[in-house]
Amino acid sequence: MFWRNGLVSFTAVFVSTVTLFTLGAVIIGNAFLSTSLAELKDKVDVNVYFLTTASSVDILNLKKRIEGLPEVKSVEYIDRDEALRRFVERNKGNALLLQSLDELGDNPLGAVLNVRAKEPSQYAQIADFLNRGTKSTLDQGEHSIIDKVNYADNEYNINRLISFINSTHKLGFTIGLILVLMVALVTASTIRLAIYNSRQEIGVMRLVGAANSFIRGPFIISGVLYGSVSAILAGILLYPGTYWTTKITSGLFGGIDLVSYYLSNIGQIFMILLFFGILLGMCSSFLAVRRYLNI
């Protein structure tokens, strides 16, 4: 039956391939989105600036306490000399500023702790811990060793990032779901049309007393073949698709290599496409025989 209706089978396979290609694109697009958002998250941090009089022992003790917070992903310690080197590197084009720095004769910068949270929404909790602190760990006598915590300066951007991430996840999921459902409906309609073309043959089988399961069998097998062939074709087409997308997005977020992601996960992606392809073909064939031919 798959080969006898060549044109109809080709149409069903073509539409099913588009469906599964869309599904694969949604899977890979989700990986691209997740990696892009991870890159954005890594660019956000909270800096703890210390007084020049703060000792490295006190700072490292605080660093250990911060690392113990469940919200913290990493803490980088930048000593005074490294802070000065980075400051000079960032302002190497500003001769007046560097000249003023030389005239001071001493390093005016204190050490810094660069704190990264696991999620942007957790920076507020970390900042609250730093602002509250305890004298036994954060203070020298009556004076805090912390000069400034720049969370307040970055709070607006952090909140915007949180909102962007939440909106992007919802939008990506919604668009992907709508695309897959739309194309799946078209695929199901195409398979039903293929079965509709065989209505006279089914009518003859019913007249001779063939069981419903016997009539459905060939169509369900055809649906399985539609899904299997479509999954293979979609898997093949995804490779040039990811290659082209990687070239287009090479300048974004450090250049995410979707080709490498696809090749390293090709087995898992193919199994997902094969599963949904067979499921879609079987269900569409079963429902078409049942609904359109009154079996």
Q: Where are the domains of the chain?
A: 6-40+160-292, 52-144
- Average pLDDT score over residue span 65-81: 89
No. of helices (H) and no. of strands (E), the chain: 11, 6
With b for 16 or more beta-carbon neighbours within 10 A and e for fewer, the 132-143 pattern comes to ebeeeebeeeee
- Average pLDDT score over residue span 237-264: 74
Is residue 224 pLDDT above 80, yes or no? yes
Predicted confidence band of residue 52 (pLDDT cuts 50, 70, 90): confident
Q: What is the pLDDT of residue 138?
A: 46
Is residue 293 pLDDT above 60, yes or no? no
Name the residue with higher pLDDT: 100 or 293.
Answer: 100
Is residue 29 pLDDT above 70, yes or no? yes
Q: What is the pLDDT of residue 77?
A: 92
Q: What is the pTM of this model?
A: 0.59
Predicted confidence band of residue 240 (pLDDT cuts 50, 70, 90): confident
Name the residue with higher pLDDT: 254 or 245.
Answer: 245
Nearest residue to 17 via CA among 185, 221, 229, 189: 229
How many Cβ atoms sit within 10 Å of the Cβ of residue 83? 18
Residues 6 or more apart whose CB falls under 8 angstroms from that of 245 comprise 28, 32, 258
Tens digit of each residue's pLDDT (9 = 90 or more) over 241-253: 888 877 776 655 5
Return phi, psi of residue 270, to 5°.
-65, -40
Distance, in Å, from the CA atom of 149 to the CA atom of 157, rounded to the nearest integer, reads 15
- Average pLDDT score over residue span 256-264: 78
Mean pLDDT of the chain: 77
Decide yes or no: CATH 3.40.50.12780 for domain 52-144. Answer: no
Instruction: Please identify which residue in the block is written with the tokens 């090749």.
Output: 263
Nearest residue to 151 via CA among 184, 113, 208, 186: 113
Tens digit of each residue's pLDDT (9 = 90 or more) over 121-156: 888 888 888 877 544 344 444 457 888 888 877 777
By the 8 A CB rule, do 25 and 249 touch? Answer: no
Name the residue with higher pLDDT: 206 or 263.
Answer: 263
Q: What is the pLDDT of residue 162?
A: 74
